Structure 1
């Protein structure tokens, strides 16, 4: 692992760089949770094959140019995402839909005001930041007894870098999908990122904990790179087996689950996959690269 660290870190750097560029250039297409709006869930005689016509009806007949309509094959109903509507506008839409769409029956109507959406967005960003900081501090504290050859706080910073790697790549993918496929992010997206961070840090800590144990047992007899390689190899089978089990479950949910959760599950899939990669091929090599750079500077002095 350590011998090929430049290759692994270069791959990660390229992926993270492209993801950051995508987020900066494309941004995110915010859903109702963040920008405000309404979700109308209804049944009709139409089916999945008529979804384009139903969406055009919302745009042309109801005057909602930003309307997005999805079909939930599992529950056999439609979900229309529309701008924020007052109760009077809501009733007017229902009257028009009953006249235009055969078999129309409203199942639910949820409305979120723009101010509520903005507050939720702010709280979501704060939650992500607090989780990242909290995890880094916890790792630094947990490894406080390991000060040679790498200080405990470096474990925390490397964990933070790995988490950013695991969050940035799925976020970049959603930015691209939002630009080209009009995919929106909502509260589920934030939940998915939090789940990814929890899974990723768990795998990373397992590897780091084995490094800590081996360092204490080795007592400085072996090179740091050798200890890292042995530690990663000792935890490799467990990490892959656990992760593959989760990936299989997510794949089943992605292909058979409700359409409303498809991008939530996709975010988890990409995040978990990058988390597997980072816990094995990013975190430990990055820790060794930092140690090697520090050692070179010490020799130069």
Structure 2
């Protein structure tokens, strides 16, 4: 299916570099314009989030006018899109106490009737977001270290087993940078904000990425043991291993992605950013396990990476 695909590895590196580079440019632009790598939600900045739905049509300026009249300057207002979300709005403000929230509800009801049960108020401390972020960052780092040592142990009979683990971890961070860039781009285009669900998506993508890469590397390990009794280059062995596993990888990942795509198209607006991150992350993970981790391993084995090709491990 992929004859001698590793010979084109420099093109895969270029493609990955372009995708990640675009994401980095978006993050740099976001830092310059907003002071944040990507737009952060209430979960990280702290404040109050209102979600409301009117029975009648109202405009963003009318909703903004209600909040400004209540003494809340510069509210961030987003129209919610999706099934059964006509005239629904999400408003993010600085901290608002219970009395002010009740006054806002009365003013909004005076503007237009609210759909019963649709006025919700969420208040979050920025300390919560920082704590969750630290926990997620620690989870990613620890998982990368654990997988590195696990692969070194599981592949101990293969020469240079450290390289397999390192390439798997590098591919995982490749996918994380892709979704970070995607979050920054969507923040610029659609005003999406990063919340606690985004961190859930990051951890999920990291897990899928490592799993898919390990499957491919395991087949390379199996074929490496057979190679000792037969002739053939390492590149040919890798090509054969990828062709033996690619159908399974694509079927597994595409099945999950079709489900995510259905949710993305027909699901509620509040969950769409999370589903989109998962979708892009799984797409990137499917790509990186074959077109990033494997070619990187080949380049390392052939000494094509000057800075790290000197690393030798048994």
SS of match in other structure, 2:121: strand
2:153 is matched with which residue: 136, 141, 148?
Answer: 141
CA separation of 1:145/1:66 partners in 2, compared to 1, >3 Å: closer, same or farther?
Answer: farther
Deviation beyond 6 Å, 4+ runs, structure 1: 294-298
Judging changes above 3 Å, is the alpha-carbon distance between structure 1 residues 51 and 214 closer, same or farther for their aligned structure 2 residues? farther
Q: Which shifted more, 175-184 or 284-293?
A: 175-184
Q: Does 1:39 align with 2:59?
A: no
* 1:232 aligned onto 2:231: no
Residue 215 of structure 1 aligns with which residue?
224
Q: Is 1:56–2:64 an aligned residue pair? A: yes
Alpha-carbon offset, residue 200 of structure 1: 1.4
Secondary structure at the residue paired with 2:80?
strand
RMSD: 2.4
> Which structure has greater helix proportion?
1
Match of 1:88 in 2: 99
Q: Does 1:204 align with 2:216?
A: no
Spell out the pairing of 1:135-284 with structure 2 (5 A cutoff). 135-147=147-159, 151-219=160-228, 221-284=231-294
Cα offset for 1:100? 2.2
Q: CA deviation at 1:194?
A: 1.2
Correspondence for 2:33: none
Shift of 1:130: 2.5
- Give the gaps of 5 or more residues in structure 1: none
- In the alignment of these two chains, the number of paired residues is 293
Give the TM-score normalised by the residue count of structure 1: 0.88
Contact 1:51/1:69 (<8 A) preserved: no
Deviations 1:195-238 (Å, cap 9, x if unpaired)? 11111111111100000000011216321111100000000111
Residues 143, 73 of structure 1: alpha-carbon distance in 2 compared, 3 angstrom cutoff: same
Picking from 22, 44, 48, the partner of 2:26 is 22
